[in-house]
Chains A and B, each alone.
Chain A
């Protein structure tokens, strides 16, 4: 579409001045949100930001590297409980958060090993087995899960005289923003292109010199790092943890977010995260119907719009840009 002349231009995240304006306006609107929106909305948006991180991680794995994983709930649990235990013994939150990500990433490496031999459906089951096994270990082990009462985490005390909700909003917004920027940079770097090459054809990728072992494992590690951080933030936000927060449904929710938002797009991940959080809010009177909405949307998306919400948005934009012509 656009003519790119230098490598530096290729690495730029935003190429056109008008896009800069739109993105700036969007970020500004989000920054000012707590001042004009009701508290409830602020709260919901905070959860969306937390989820955005995990969905981006999942999208890096499924959408960009093409490795399917149903075990995200396991990484989520590992990250969350690592964070919980570390913060209980008095380690400050930035270190605990990074450790949560690293612990999940380490397990991601372990789960990534089967991906070197397995493909598609087989990998899906191996990761699914991992997710369920982690869940059951946490359910059966009181030392890890903090007993029947769950693990209580000290919440952050608000700084700068902000209310707790507003402070949480900004805190998670900034972290989500940082991770979004990191994902954009991953994709436009060698690593991201290696991921995409592996997705399109792994044998061909290996032939042209992509280290298959390293980049498949790296993709698992990065993805589970994101998910682990999401788990830690979620624990910090809610203030307590219990194993039942990390069932198979949780993995499915992350998965649904990626599919509905759009495979292989960061914007799509954000839209998908918003979708899976907003739908239960909108349908709060009919709790049982939430999975039905997810399922119907998945089927519609896969049959009619394989690139998800982002694909629709992209087509709309294209339509208006070329308007009188088609």
Chain B
């Protein structure tokens, strides 16, 4: 039982990271119907930016905030400079997805060039080895912080989407683009904001992930794919679904790693994707999508 709780707790911590990544992916998919394949690379770019700033002896929080902004600006630049012209030329949905693949490749190359491919350890204010004990359960300061930040970000994001005027505009834009335009909502700005917010959430996940893994240009690939799995599990066009999916995926992965086999822990997520897509393609909380000829 203790073991079970222990695995659940550590699963919740990784799950909150997946939830942050999934939230970004779902946000973008919901508003633009694009699968954002460069999400992981934007995240990596933001984390490397923070790493470079920390190298200049900047304070932690300042560096982290700048990195979050850097990621957001990067995503917005991509939206305005690549996606908008492509949409003007009537790019197909598939074409737009491929554009994000292109962006991912570019970022990946630039990060390897400027950041180096050697794995580096990422300095962080919360320590990985300082442990807290609750009864028999041990939790490190870092995973506690990760879970806390994940929860906080999800709550803030929820408030933003549900309780503010900007959130209302975002929901309207994702619901029906032409109608939102006729109501006078600056949809292009709102969509750019969605891209920026998604990147911001991603970079946040990356910052909290980097101290547990070593920092190299490909460190986000696996968490990014898992974030995808989480988003699918919860339903690609549902924001609460992304959070729920992330937590479920984190916990079940940790349990599977603990009780079944540690070697196939990572394969688990992809089996989940395929199974969910076969049985219930719209995910746990997503709406059914209909199709007309």
Residues of A within 8 A of B (CB): 66, 68, 113-114, 117-122, 124-126, 128-130, 132-133, 136-137, 140, 201, 203-204, 248, 252, 255-256, 259, 286, 288-299, 302-303, 306
Contacts and interface: CB of A to CB of B under 8 A. Distances in A.
29 contacts: A114-B274, A114-B277, A117-B277, A121-B236, A122-B232, A125-B228, A125-B273, A129-B229, A129-B269, A140-B264, A201-B293, A252-B101, A255-B98, A286-B113, A288-B109, A288-B113, A288-B117, A289-B109, A292-B110, A292-B113, A293-B109, A294-B105, A295-B101, A295-B102, A295-B106, A295-B108, A297-B102, A298-B98, A303-B82
Contacts of A259: 98
Contact of B35 (A119, A121, A140, A204): A121
A132 B93 contact: no
Interface string B204-243: 0000000000000000010001001100100010000000
B97 interface: yes
Q: How large is the interface on B (under 10, 10 to 19, 20 to 34, 35 or more residues)?
A: 35 or more
A81 to B, nearest CB: 17
Interface of B: 29, 33-35, 82, 85-86, 89, 91, 93-95, 97-99, 101-110, 112-113, 117, 221, 225, 228-229, 232, 236, 263-264, 266-267, 269-271, 273-274, 277-278, 281, 291, 293
Nearest to A290: B109
A interface, over-half SS: helix
A306 B35 CA distance: 19
A298 B102 contact: yes
Contacts of B105: 252, 256, 291-292, 294-295, 298
Contact of A121 (B97, B102, B270, B273): B97
Contact of A291 (B35, B106, B269, B273): B106
A299 B277 contact: no
B149 to A, nearest CB: 27
Contacts of A121: 29, 33-35, 93, 97, 236
Given A125-B228, A288-B112, A302-B91, A203 B106 contact: no
A299 B102 CA distance: 6
Interface centre among B117, B269, B274, by most chain A C-beta atoms within 10 angstroms, is: B274
